[in-house]
């Protein structure tokens, strides 16, 4: 299965109540395998790790997670996840648009405690660790929201909205700055230029793009570019390009319309033997084995 479009058009079930919960399972496999493909969207996202261990990179910062940990991805945040061991991983993604948390026309408490975060002027910490004081009530609310989405009883949308308010209110109680005027974290804005580069890679994966060329596209010198790119994606530039090429190759192999040599050429690798070696290194199986799996 090839990765979704980098700029994700997340399905939110109701325009009036734009929220959805996705239960994700990453099967057992090699350490470092992709648990969440690199993407961003215009919504907030709570990630709740149910079981297993992973590392999620959110706007260039890595966050190790285990059972019970919560992550809050800000709207527009570039994020990706990788397994930390061979065990399966289960995590929930609660995705919702900021419009769901809009206050009344006159609501001073909303304006004071929630609006700075909802509007992006301030940011909560990304990680809420399972062992941290105050995390259990927030985790309990996530589980309650999960139950509401699973059962979908009458008026569940209202309860989900109310519980989201409760989540943000608890977070604001803990982390709202004591002084007015604290600066917002602008890391997400600094990552915008990398989003256009990654979209370029996604669209032109068969073309040769050197580190120097990529660095120029984001106005960085090659050394600084390599460092920032690794922080943002959890992969080196070469690893990221090769990973994407192998994802495309895997899809083409499963479709069964092209030969291995044709697929290697399609993704920009002239040597079929090198393609086979690289594919097995990244996917753990040979191209012929991947094709057989697609035939089942």
What would the pLDDT profile of 125-140 be if each residue is shown by its tens digit? 899 988 887 789 999 9
- The counts of H helices and E strands in the chain are 12, 9
Is the pLDDT confidence value at 119 over 80? no
51's enclosing H/E stretch is strand 44-51
pLDDT band at 106 (very low <50, low <70, confident <90, very high): low
- Residue 163: exposed, middle, or buried by beta-carbon count in 10 A (0-12, 13-18, 19+)? middle
The domains of the chain, with CATH numbers, are 19-175 (2.60.120.280), 191-295 (1.10.10.60)
Residues whose CB falls within 8 Å of the CB of residue 269, separated by 6 or more in sequence, listed in order: 245, 275, 278
Give 269 or 60, the one with higher predicted confidence: 269
In angstroms, the CA 62 to CA 60 distance is 7
pLDDT in tens, 240-274: 899 889 889 988 998 888 899 999 999 999 898 99
What would the mean pLDDT of 47-75 be, rounded to a whole number?
Answer: 93
**DSSP H helical ranges for the chain:** 108-113, 115-118, 135-151, 156-175, 187-190, 192-203, 211-217, 222-233, 237-255, 260-266, 272-283, 287-295
Is pTM beyond 0.85 here?
Answer: no
Residues whose CB falls within 8 Å of the CB of residue 11, separated by 6 or more in sequence, listed in order: 20
Q: What are phi and psi of 162, to 5 degrees?
A: -60, -40
Beta-bridge mates of residue 48: 70, 92
Percentage of residues in the chain with pLDDT exceeding 90? 38
Give the model's pLDDT for residue 16: 74
pLDDT in tens, 63-78: 999 999 999 998 888 8
Strands 19-26 and 34-39: unpaired
In angstroms, the CA 70 to CA 56 distance is 11
Q: Give the angle 166-168-174 at the CA atoms, nearest 5°.
A: 105
Give the model's pLDDT for residue 5: 44
Residues whose CB falls within 8 Å of the CB of residue 239, separated by 6 or more in sequence, listed in order: none
Number of other residues whose CB lies within 10 A of the CB of residue 272? 16
Task: List the 19-26 sheet strands across, edge first.
Answer: 19-26, 89-96, 44-51, 70-73, 127-128
Task: List the 54-58 sheet strands across, edge first.
Answer: 34-39, 79-83, 54-58, 61-65
70's enclosing H/E stretch is strand 70-73
Give 289 or 46, the one with higher predicted confidence: 46
Give the model's pLDDT for residue 227: 85
């Amino acid at each position: 299965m090839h990765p979704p479009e980098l700029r994700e058009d997340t399905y939110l079930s109701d325009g009036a109540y734009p929220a959805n919960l996705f239960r994700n399972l990453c099967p057992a496999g090699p350490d470092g395998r992709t648990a969440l493909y690199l993407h961003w969207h215009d919504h907030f996202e709570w990630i709740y790790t149910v079981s297993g261990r992973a590392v999620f990179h959110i706007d260039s910062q890595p966050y190790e997670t285990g059972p019970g940990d919560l992550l809050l991805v800000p709207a527009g945040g570039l994020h990706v996840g990788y397994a930390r061991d061979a065990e399966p991983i289960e995590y929930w993604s609660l995705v919702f648009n900021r419009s769901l948390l809009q206050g009344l026309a006159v609501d001073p408490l909303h304006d004071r405690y929630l609006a700075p975060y909802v509007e992006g002027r301030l940011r909560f910490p990304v990680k809420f660790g399972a062992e941290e004081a105050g995390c259990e009530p927030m985790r309990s609310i996530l589980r309650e929201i999960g139950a509401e989405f699973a059962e979908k009883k009458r008026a569940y949308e209202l309860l989900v909205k109310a519980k989201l308010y409760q989540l943000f209110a608890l977070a604001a109680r803990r982390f709202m700055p004591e002084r007015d005027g604290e600066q917002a974290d602008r890391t997400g804005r600094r990552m915008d230029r990398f989003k256009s580069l990654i979209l370029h890679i996604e669209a032109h994966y068969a073309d040769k793009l050197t580190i120097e060329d990529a660095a120029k596209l984001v106005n960085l010198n090659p050394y600084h570019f390599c460092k920032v790119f690794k922080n943002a994606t959890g992969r080196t530039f070469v690893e990221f390009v090769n990973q994407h090429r192998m994802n495309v190759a895997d899809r083409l192999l499963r479709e069964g319309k092209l030969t291995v040599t044709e697929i290697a050429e399609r993704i920009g690798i002239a040597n079929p033997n090198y393609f086979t070696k690289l594919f097995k290194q990244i996917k753990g199986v040979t191209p012929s084995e991947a094709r057989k799996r697609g035939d089942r």
